[in-house]
């Protein structure tokens, strides 16, 4: 599906919109907006892949040499929250479940190289000292039922 706007105007393009729902007063168990499950069938070693498995791949693009301006943020994942009522376990933009096969997670995030993807690996790259400077804020991470705070420091 590749919707295309070919005339100038104020149009917006949405390639896919799905909205499963429970009707007013209808109870149920789970509500899943979309499920994508790649599957390597069979239990043998035959049929190895020489590339990757990507359940979701997002890549904003523009033509090489483009000089267009995008006034808003360009992002590959945007999460909003319009929940009302009670969410007894919480509302999180990302949940990482325990690995279900015999291969454990290697990590939470992978960046191609230091400095790419907003991640810098450096022994002396911080401008603030966590031992003496006051944190500017923190990111909340919940592991199991324990809540942790990952501190953030302003870079200058």
State pLDDT tens for residues 76-91: 888 999 999 899 989 9
**pLDDT reading at 66 higher than 70:** yes
- State mean pLDDT over 40-69: 87
- State mean pLDDT over 15-39: 91
**pLDDT reading at 97 higher than 80:** yes
Amino acid 4: pLDDT = 85
Q: Please say whether the beta carbons of 114 and 125 come within 8 A.
A: no
pTM of the predicted structure, to 2 decimals:
0.69
- State mean pLDDT over 3-27: 89
Q: Domain boundaries in the chain?
A: 125-151
**pLDDT reading at 133 higher than 70:** yes
Amino acid 116: pLDDT = 66
* Range of weakest confidence among 19-28, 87-96, 104-113: 104-113
């Amino acid at each position: 599906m590749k919707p295309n706007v070919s005339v100038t105007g104020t149009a917006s393009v949405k390639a896919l919109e799905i909205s499963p729902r429970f009707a007013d007063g209808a109870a149920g168990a789970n509500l899943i907006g979309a499920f994508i499950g790649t599957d390597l069938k069979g239990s043998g070693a035959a049929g190895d892949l020489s590339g990757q498995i990507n359940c979701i791949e997002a890549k904003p693009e523009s033509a090489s040499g483009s000089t267009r301006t995008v006034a808003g943020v360009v992002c590959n994942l945007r999460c909003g929250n319009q929940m009302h009522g009670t969410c007894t376990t919480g509302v999180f933009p990302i949940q990482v479940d325990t690995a279900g096969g015999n291969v454990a997670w290697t990590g939470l995030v992978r960046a191609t190289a230091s400095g790419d993807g907003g991640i810098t690996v450096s022994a002396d790259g911080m401008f603030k000292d966590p031992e003496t400077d006051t944190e500017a804020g923190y990111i909340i991470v919940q592991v199991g039922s324990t809540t942790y705070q990952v501190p953030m420091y302003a870079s200058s």
